[in-house]
Amino acid sequence: MGLLTDPGAGRGKFSQYLVHYHSRLCLLMYLGCIVWFLLLVYEPYNAGTYFSENALLPGLVKGEFNDKHVAKGLYEELKTEAERYPNDMPYTWLRSKMRQIGLDVYSHEYSLNYPMGLGVNYTGKNIYGIIRAPRGASTEALVLSVPYRPLASANLGTLPGVALSLSLAKYFRRQKYWAKDIIFLYTQHEQLGVQAWLEAYHQVSCGKGILQHNDLKGRSGAIQAAINLELYGEVISHLNVKIEGLNGQLPNLDLVNLVHRMSSKENVRHTFHNEESWEGYITFKSYLRSLKTLMSMVTTQAAGVPNGNHGLFLRFGISAVTIEGFENKERQYGPGFYQVGRIMEGVFRSLNNLLERFHQSFFFYLLPSNNRYISIGLYMPCICLLAGSLLIRAFAMWLKLNESIQDESSGIATDWPAVVQNIGVSWIAIHLLGFVLVSGTETFSRLGLEFGLMTVDSISFAYFAFSALSLLLPFLLRLYKINMTSSAPLLHILTLLEFSVAMVAVGMHNISLALLTGVLFTPVALFIDAYSTNSVKKFALRLLMLVLHPIVLLSIAVTVTAASAFAWENLTIAMIFDAMKQSIMFSTMDRYIYGNWIMTAGCVILFPVWMILWCILNCAPPPSKEQKAKAE
């Protein structure tokens, strides 16, 4: 408190050095963060994966699954049934097959009360069966989930995965070594069905309460782990393991290692983000390959959207991954039902050995390949360097401001009550705009109906309107004669503190989101100076701020994503604009249904930080000594 109240504070030699050299120190810390992160990709600076939970005993599992002919027969039958129900799930066929196998079979209905527009309701139904453990009391369970995609679906079909899971159920039913129940879950409408089933299983509501579901008629014990199987062909080229979950959560690393270990044991090509592990001499090419894999994980995790049905299990403390098998279209021979079935057998038999929930290995990590990992102790210094540079900048600005206040010729107002009041009103008003933006989606939708607009258009136009308002905010303040010149330094300090604290807090949960936003926004936050008279510097910062506007960043992300799916020459402005509207709508519904907080964090923290920095950058400079003398 002495630093805040003593007028003579901050006049020591160290403080003077800090005020004079803090810009260079902050820049050095920012560059150090980037260099540190790039070095982590280099193999000598990360570690090889290993098993922390010895109870898994994956090396002792001897595969015995050999029901590939059963899987092929079920696959042929299922294709015939799927043609009869091109837009729906063949419930009768699935129920009869599961009962023939000897499973306890149940169905689960749910509905989505769409809160936007006219409030349309959507319905769906899951079906699941349970193998009761002969050596247990149904206190623990494992889940094998498969999303059913009808033939009319735009996504890759999962009929081979359904057939293989049924053959696995038949094989598992004959074994006597199970100590945990095994639940076979077939869901409709992708993640919506999984979310409804998980909420019913745990008797909770995760979103805004718009997803309604019936109670489950059949239950088991606490779910220890889950595997989501998406097999796209009878003969596959490789297996891809997906791990990113809701809000950036990750499964226990032991489960990820288990899937890769079993795939290697059965000689099946396995990848992470469709990249294989690199073994051999370390070269620049292998480094770039690892960097590409790592950045793919970072961008996927930062989005906060699960890249598979497994991602919804993680919020319930259930480690889960998605195993994705791509069809081999080039040749008719290769891994198929037999090899994938033995992998699944090995995974479930290893999980059956668990004596407790996953807890030994890492839950916070980054993967440059499927056999190397970066632990939290190695990547957190990157966030600490970014946040530290912001804190040093804020502290140096406070010391400099404390000195300037003593100099009446500086042109800075000394009427502290008025300055603090202006800061409080400005900070609250700008954050209130972000809160209104994220919480007013239903109001925007109803207003759009008055003008005949669809919900996606109403909400998107609201975001575009708020974005335009944010750009015009400094000029509107001048129009209403609201002077931010005197309060700009303190407002800048408050924003630096807010952004650094938010970065560290988010980084403890979603390191990728914190790292990306920190790398993008830290340079601007550091080097903006409300009292700078360098017109070239201000012009460059204004251009950079426009590029960093959340809507502009969204358009860049959408363009890059669309370009990866389509050729660059086929992209049009209309396609990008439509994709932007869809991404805003999907993010909004993810918040309502699943409790995704990425959109909320963006609107309540990132968007206000951008607006404050934009207002500081565009505020009028203080009067010079000559102007002040002339005014007097």
CA distance 549 to 209: 32
Q: What is the crossing angle of helices 607-617 and 488-507, to 10°?
A: 150
What is the reported pLDDT for 475? 84
Burial letters for 300-327: b for 16+ Cβ neighbours within 10 Å, e otherwise? bbbbbbbbbbbbbbbbbebbbbbbbbbb
Strand pairing category for 47-48 and 140-147: unpaired
Cα–Cα distances (Å) from 73 to 2, 97, 100, 160, 290, in that order, read 80, 12, 15, 11, 41
**Burial (Cβ within 10 Å: 0-12, 13-18, ≥19) of residue 154:** exposed
Amino acid at 487: S
Residues 6+ positions from 66 with CB-CB distance below 8 Å: 338
Q: Would you tell me how many other CB atoms lie within 10 Å of the CB of residue 250?
A: 24
* pLDDT tens digits along 37-55: 999 999 989 999 999 988 8
Q: Tell me which residues of the chain have a pLDDT lower than 50.
A: 1-5, 409-413, 631
What is the reported pLDDT for 620? 65
Strand partners, 321: 227
Phi, psi of 365 (to 5 degrees): -165, 165
Which of 78, 113, 179, 26 lies closest to 525, judged by CA? Answer: 26
What is the reported pLDDT for 401? 79
R_g (Cα) of the chain, nearest Å: 28
User: Which pTM value belongs to this model?
Assistant: 0.90
Q: Would you tell me how many other CB atoms lie within 10 Å of the CB of residue 428?
A: 11
* pLDDT tens digits along 225-272: 999 999 999 999 999 999 999 999 999 999 999 999 999 999 999 999
What is the reported pLDDT for 283? 85
Domains (range + CATH), the chain:
2-41+378-622 (no CATH), 54-273+304-355 (3.40.630.10)
What is the reported pLDDT for 504? 94
